[in-house]
Amino acid sequence: MKYALLVHAPLENFSRPKDRADIAAGRAYGEALQAAGVFVGGAGLESPQSATTVSVRDGKRQVHDGPYAETKEFLAGFAIIDVPNLDAALEWAARNPAAGHLLVEVRPLVGSYFATGGNKPA
């Protein structure tokens, strides 16, 4: 079963430079995910201010600067993991260093042709 671990952070979090301990913790977590054989993919995200949104309405392209919606919390990173069940996904979410000061949302992936790892249902 595939789950997305979504890290949500307030805007000021993106401009704050990461200290070495944060980077080391993130890397150790990533290595542990890989070594456990549950990591499918994932990345940290640049500031929402760097976002560009695209939509097509009535055949007309619309491009906007900035994130889709004005909110207090923004997606700051994600990991997709493949684990037997939600309990295991929550365990990995708790180990995410971001869980210590931000929020980690755990969402099951729906079966889709977009799903990572081929065209089978997630």
Residues that bind another protein (CB under 8 A): 21, 24-25, 27-33, 35-37, 86-87, 90-91, 94-95, 97, 99-100
* CB of 62 vs another protein, minimal distance in Å: 38
Pinpoint the alpha helices (H) of the chain.
Answer: 12-15, 20-35, 86-95
* CB of 114 vs another protein, minimal distance in Å: 25
Q: Which amino acid is at 29?
A: Y
* CB of 25 vs another protein, minimal distance in Å: 6
| Nearer to another protein (CB atom), residue 28 or residue 110 | 28
Q: What angle (nearest 5°) sits at the alpha carbon of residue 67, between those of residues 63 and 68?
A: 75
Return d(Cα 76, Cα 68) in angstroms, integer. Answer: 14
